[in-house]
Amino acid sequence: MTTLDAETRRTYGGYGGRYVPETLIPALDELEAGWAAAKIDPAFIAELHYLLTTYAGRPTPLTLAERFAPGKRVYLKREDLLHTGAHKINNALGQAVLARRLGKQRIVAETGAGQHGVAAATVCARFGLECIVYMGSEDMRRQRPNVERMKLMGAEVRPVEFGTKTLKEATSEAIRDWITNVETTHYMIGSCVGPAPYPEIVAELQSVIGREAREQLLAAEGKLPETVIACVGGGSNAIGMFRGFVDDPGVKLIGVEAAGAASLGSGRAGVLHGSRSSILSDSDGQIADAHSISAGLDYPGVGPEHAYLRDSKRAVYLPCTDDEALAAVQRLARTEGIIPALETAHALARVADCESDYIAVCLSGRGDKDMQTLIERLGQ
């Protein structure tokens, strides 16, 4: 049994929950009620659909990657072609429309690779909302172009200078800001993590990826793929893709984590940023440092639904090293003329050793933001 009933979508087999200070509980209740009303409201559905099609660029195409994977049917779901260059805009648009319904004028967000920060800055500019993005100073260095893009669109980027100076600390600071300004502020979380109802809201907003992909694959091949592959940081592009296929028992679901940030592969049950999940932590529960060349995967936690899918064996999660990801960027660039984000490249790297002949990969984002890292590491 893999279909997620309403209860499972809250508790994810013992994961999830609301491990946050009391101050936030009424806001989470309000968000949960607001979301429950919005998602069945034809006006909300129509507005989001209108924005996704006329502003973000949905539906995204499906590209057969014949030169990347000769002899196989490997399809790329092209979220990289969306406005702002990654799947993150699907979530940011949905949350912006929701935040306006809740009467919030101020948005806080965290970002790692900067893709969610850019998506948040974009939708805030589009709707005239104040936007504050917390970003680790290490990530600001390695994702410079995204910092400039956020600023150009009027967002304030606040550097986080302590701890790992990456996504983990940026998320903590965004939550602290939200605790302080909860009455005026919506926390626009960037992945399917955090306290309930966030994992479910983000998963539903991203599930458009899997719904479209399923239809397009059926139209192209007349049958469902053998395997679906996506990279996993917090897990939002993967859960969006997986939701299109989770009820098709014949479709294998593979999530690919950075080897140095494999929350599912080498983590243990723990609590981080408001939910219980599989976390990179030590035997005392202290959060361990993650390490990845890809800022968007450099995070010791993961969405609770992925922990549930792993435990229930519906999905499997594999690691990928920095070098393998770099090689995959180069390979897709040279064989297909598509430069993927370093995050996405982790999924692409596992396509090569997947025994299936018919595979769908979520191409979650484009690699423009990674040029500096690519030049440093590939010497181009």
Partner 1 sequence: MTAAKKLVIYLMAEPGTPELAAAAVRGGADIVELGFPFSDPLADGPVIRLAGERALKAGMRTRECLECLARTRALVGPDIPLVPMTYAAILEAYGYDRFNTDARAAGMTSLIVADLPADERPDVKRVQLVAPTSTDERIRLAAEQTDGWLYLVTLTGTTGARTAVSSQLDGLVERARAITDLPLYAGFGISTPEHAAAAAAQADGIVVGSRAIQVADEGGAPALEAYVASLRAAIDAL
Ligand X SMILES: Cc1ncc(COP(=O)(O)O)c(C=O)c1O
Active site residues: 88, 110, 364
Which partner from the list partner 1, ligand X, none does 19 bind, CB cut-off 5 to 8 Å by kind?
A: partner 1
Closest approach of partner 1 to the CB of residue 171, in Å? 9
Query: Hey, which residues does 130 pair with through a beta bridge?
Result: 106
Closest approach of ligand X to the CB of residue 173, in Å? 17
Closest approach of ligand X to the CB of residue 374, in Å? 14
Binder to ligand X among 90, 166, 227, 236 (CB under 6 A)? 236
Helix (H) or strand (E) holding 366: none
Q: How do 268-272 and 275-279 pair as beta strands?
A: antiparallel
Alpha-carbon span 109 to 187, nearest angstrom = 6
Closest approach of partner 1 to the CB of residue 284, in Å? 4
Range in contact with ligand X (rule: CB under 6 A) among 49-57, 120-128, 149-157, 229-237:
229-237
Q: Does 286 bind partner 1 (CB under 8 A)?
A: yes
Closer to partner 1 by Cβ: residue 123 or 175: 175
Which partner from the list partner 1, ligand X, none does 344 bind, CB cut-off 5 to 8 Å by kind?
A: ligand X
- Burial of 180 from C-beta contacts in 10 A (0-12 / 13-18 / 19+): exposed
Do 154 and 117 contact (CB within 8 A), yes or no?
no
User: φ and ψ at 329, to 5 degrees?
Assistant: -60, -50
Query: Hey, which residues does 186 pair with through a beta bridge?
Result: 107
Range in contact with partner 1 (rule: CB under 8 A) among 96-104, 234-242, 273-281, 315-323:
273-281
Q: Does 73 bind partner 1 (CB under 8 A)?
A: no
Alpha-carbon span 303 to 324, nearest angstrom = 24
Tokens of 326: 């770099």
Range in contact with partner 1 (rule: CB under 8 A) among 40-48, 49-57, 101-109, 170-178:
170-178
Q: In what order do the strands lie in the sheet with 358-363?
A: 62-64, 73-78, 358-363, 227-231, 252-258, 315-320
Nearest Cα to 158, choosing from 196, 120, 123? Answer: 120
* Of residues 335-354, those binding ligand X (CB under 6 A): 341, 343-344
Nearest Cα to 304, choosing from 95, 90, 11? Answer: 11
* Of residues 51-110, those binding ligand X (CB under 6 A): 86
Do 337 and 81 contact (CB within 8 A), yes or no?
no
Residue owning tokens 């948005």: 107
Binder to partner 1 among 87, 276, 306, 366 (CB under 8 A)? 276
Q: Which residues bind partner 1 (CB under 8 A)?
A: 17-27, 162-163, 168, 172, 175-176, 179-183, 268-274, 276, 279, 281-287
Q: Which residues bind ligand X (CB under 6 A)?
A: 86, 112-113, 115-116, 191, 231-238, 296-297, 341, 343-344, 364-365
